[in-house]
Homo-oligomer: A and B are copies of this chain.
Amino acid sequence: MNFIPCNPEFASIVQASFEQQGLMKTIGATLDRIEPGAVDISAPHRDNLTQQQGFLHAAAITAIADSACGYAALSLMPAGSEVLTIEFKVNLLRPAAGTRFVAEGRVVKPGKTITVSRADVFAYTDEVPVLIATLLATMIAQAG
């Protein structure tokens, strides 16, 4: 879907908010795409972020998926807005086995107050992406 951003500065707004997240630095996440209603965030495998079987922990996967959803929503909000996650649901489809993980956040339904977004997360080892999780989230806009 093609969305028209109401704030032409949307990309720098998203970038600035992302850089304030201590956790994104700690997990090594990067912002790979910022378009109106579409934000991708990726993170590498890290040995200090594993679950009990040695795969990347679901918390790291949901962190990049939730953030990609939130920033996809924020990209369509008016200047001065902040975005907060009200809730999300995530299905963990396969083990997070790979060297890099990419969360593709997309707005499903924008709104003045409530925006609904979805993210699919893919694992990369060589070049073949494998869908490992899907997340559906409800975001709320707050005046900054």
Residues on A close to B: CB < 8 A? 17-18, 20-23, 25-26, 47-53, 57-60, 62-63, 66, 82, 84-94, 108-109, 113-114, 116, 118, 131, 134, 136, 138, 140
Give the chain B neighbours of A134 by CB distance below 8 A.
Answer: 108, 116, 118, 136
Q: A59-B66, A84-B92, A113-B140 are in contact. List 15 more A-B contacts (CB 8 A).
A: A18-B52, A21-B57, A23-B50, A23-B51, A25-B48, A53-B82, A59-B60, A87-B89, A87-B92, A89-B89, A89-B90, A91-B108, A91-B138, A93-B108, A138-B138
A103 to chain B, nearest CB (A): 12
Measured between beta carbons, the chain B residues less than 8 angstroms from A53 are 20, 82
